[in-house]
Amino acid sequence: MEPISPKQTGMAAEGLLLGTVTDDLADLGKYGLKKVYQVLSESLNQLDAQVYAKTIEQAVITVGSKVIVFSHNQTGKAVAPMVAAGLKAGIVTGVIALPDTTKGFVVKKSVFSGKAFANVNISSDIKVISLNPNSYKVISGEGIAEVNQLNIPVEAGKVKVTGVNKVRGEVPLTEAEIVVSGGRGLKGPENWRILEELAHSLHAATACSRPVADSAWRPHHEHVGQTGIQIAPNLYIALGISGAIQHLAGVNRSKTIVVINKDPEAPFFKAADYGIVGDVFEIVPKLTEEIRKLRNS
């Protein structure tokens, strides 16, 4: 998919940064931004959805923006609806395609756990959308963005972060090209080594079904599905996952799905591009070995 271009919407893309960052903001011009606005305040250096929302509202009013685009990640999910409410703007979340501006402002999203698509027209003056991660490829080119500081009042936060537990050394799930995911078919957390070895051989991120996270076999940040993270990698490999509709809702935008399950009737096979009927404990180590051989050859 192409990035939103001024040719299609008649608008220029501008960015808003909240809080202190060390990166060179002018560099964002490479990704199509003409201007970048920054609001500096101690209260913005940690996420407080209410403070973020109020600051974004003020910035939108000051700059006169008409379409506010969020990422449909945890922050976007928390902040975008508050901004829309504050600005009395129409909002569509989890958008997956470019807006069609030929008749109004129509955006596409998947509904009913990925069973159908809805095209929704936003008719309010200001429009808020949140884009599903990985819906677009990042395209970089030439360009330098103009950086402006916005002097707007920022409220003191009511939330205090008392500790941060950072996940280190893993490929972030929402950005991964390849994801290897495990379900209850792996029988217990002690068996995750075979999944991790496969993931390692493919430089892939690891994910899991909800019952796996609920049973504390894996951390909750790996849970994908309707109530977990929604991902769209190039390759999703499902090991011992039945393929319930709530699971598929989080992964059915993957470009290629490979399913390994010992039950030939498992519903996941209907959504799969490639399927292997068999025991994960036999197949996965062999697969990992073959991938390692290929990589080393």
Contacts of 296 (CB under 8 A, 6+ apart): none
Per-residue CA distances from 154 to 67, 69, 76, 209, 261 (Å): 22, 21, 19, 40, 53
Alpha carbons 175 and 25: distance in angstroms, whole number: 21
Residue 248 Cβ vs ligand FAD, minimum distance, rounded to whole Å? 9
Written as six digits, the tokens of 45 are 């250096």
Q: Is 254 in the site for ligand FAD (CB under 6 A)?
A: no
Contact 54, 62 (CB under 8 A): no
Is 240 near ligand FAD (CB under 6 A)? yes
Segment lying near ligand FAD (by CB under 6 A), choices 79-87, 130-138, 188-196, 239-247:
239-247
CB distance 4 to 98 below 8 Å: yes
From 34, 56, 236, select the one nearest 130 (Cα to Cα): 56
Shortest Cβ 89–ligand FAD spacing (Å)? 29
- Determine, following the binding rule CB under 6 A, whether residue 99 of this chain makes contact with ligand FAD: no
For position 257 contacting ligand FAD by CB under 6 A, the verdict is no
Burial of 136 from C-beta contacts in 10 A (0-12 / 13-18 / 19+): middle
Residue selected from 281, 285, 291, 292 as contacting ligand FAD according to rule CB under 6 A? 281
Examine residue 146 and tell whether it contacts ligand FAD (CB under 6 A). no
Stretch that binds ligand FAD, among 24-32, 151-159, 171-179, 224-232 (CB under 6 A): 224-232
Position 228 contacts ligand FAD (CB under 6 A): yes
Q: Of the two residues 56 and 186, which places its CB atom closer to ligand FAD in the complex?
A: 186
Residue 168-207 contact track with ligand FAD, rule CB under 6 A, x = bound: ---------------xxx----------------------
Nearest to 63 by CA among 43, 79, 39: 39
- Binder among 65, 130, 209, 254 for ligand FAD (CB under 6 A): 209
Kind and range of the H or E run holding 68: strand 67-71
Please give the Cα distance from 283 to 90 (Å, whole number): 49
Binding ligand FAD by CB under 6 A: which of 54, 210, 218, 253?
210
Q: Report the C-alpha gap between 274 and 271 in whole angstroms.
A: 9
In the complex with ligand FAD, the residue whose CB is nearer, 43 or 254, is 254
| # residues contacting ligand FAD (CB under 6 A) | 26
Q: Is 280 in the site for ligand FAD (CB under 6 A)?
A: yes
Question: What three-state secondary structure class fits 270?
Answer: helix
The tokens for 23 are 């990166």
Minimum CB distance to ligand FAD, residue 264 (Å): 9
Beta bridge partners of 90: 127
Using the rule CB under 6 A, give the single segment among 39-47, 83-91, 169-177, 259-267 that binds ligand FAD. 259-267
Nearer to ligand FAD, 130 or 181 (CB): 181
Q: Which residues bind ligand FAD (CB under 6 A)?
A: 183-185, 209-212, 225-228, 240-242, 244, 246-247, 250, 260-263, 266, 279-281
